[in-house]
Amino acid sequence: MHHVSDAPPPFFHRGPSPFARLAVFGLLSLALLFTDSRYGYLEGIRSVVAIALHPLQRIVQIPGETLAWVATYFTSQRELADEVASLKQQVLVQAPAAQGHELLRDENAALRALLAVHARFANAATAAEVLYTGRDPFSQKLFLNRGTDAGIKPGEAVIDQFGVVGQVTRAFPQMAEVTLITDKDHAVPVKVERSGIRGVFFGAGAGRMPELRFMASSSDVRPGDKLYTSGLDGIYPADLAVAQVTSVERETGQMFSRILCTPLAGVDRSGYLLVLRQGAAQLPRPDEPAEADAPKRGVRGKGRRSG
Smallest gap from residue 123 Cβ to other proteins (A): 29
Which CA distances in Å does 46 have to 50, 53, 104, 166?
6, 10, 46, 21
Contact 206, 140 (CB under 8 A): yes
* Site for other proteins contains 7 (CB under 8 A): no
* Site for other proteins contains 87 (CB under 8 A): no
Smallest gap from residue 295 Cβ to other proteins (A): 17
Q: Which of 7, 28, 104, 110 binds other proteins (CB under 8 A)?
A: 28
Q: Which of 11, 14, 292, 293 binds other proteins (CB under 8 A)?
A: 14
* Site for other proteins contains 191 (CB under 8 A): no
- Considering only 101-109, 125-133, 158-166, 251-259, which stretch makes contact with other proteins by CB under 8 A? 125-133
* Site for other proteins contains 305 (CB under 8 A): yes
Q: Which of 13, 112, 269, 285 binds other proteins (CB under 8 A)?
A: 269
Helices (H), the chain: 18-38, 43-73, 77-115, 301-306
Smallest gap from residue 161 Cβ to other proteins (A): 18
* Site for other proteins contains 109 (CB under 8 A): no
Per DSSP, the three-state class of 253 is coil
Q: How far apart are CA 220 and CA 216, in angstroms?
A: 9
201 beta partners: 188, 212
- Considering only 92-100, 118-126, 157-165, 299-307, which stretch makes contact with other proteins by CB under 8 A? 299-307
**Looking only at residues 159 through 178 of this chain, which bind other proteins when binding is defined by CB under 8 A?**
170, 177
Smallest gap from residue 49 Cβ to other proteins (A): 4
Q: Which of 39, 59, 72, 287 binds other proteins (CB under 8 A)?
A: 59
CA triple 259-121-117, angle to 5 deg: 95
* Site for other proteins contains 42 (CB under 8 A): yes
Q: How far apart are CA 172 and CA 178, in angstroms?
A: 11
Closer CB to other proteins, residue 22 or residue 95? 22
Q: How many residues in the shown chain lie near other proteins by CB under 8 A?
A: 55
Beta strand 141-144 with 175-180 is antiparallel
Q: For residues 96-129, b (16+ Cβ closer than 10 Å) or e, as one string?
A: eeeeeeeeeeeeeeeeeeeeeeeebbeeebbebe
Residue 88 carries which side chain, given as an amino acid letter? K
Quick one: which of 195, 150, 154, 192 has its CA closest to 173?
150
Q: Which residues bind other proteins (CB under 8 A)?
A: 5-6, 14, 18-19, 21-22, 25-26, 28-33, 35-37, 42, 45-46, 49-50, 53, 56-57, 59-61, 63-64, 130-139, 141, 143, 170, 177, 184, 205-207, 268-269, 302, 305-307
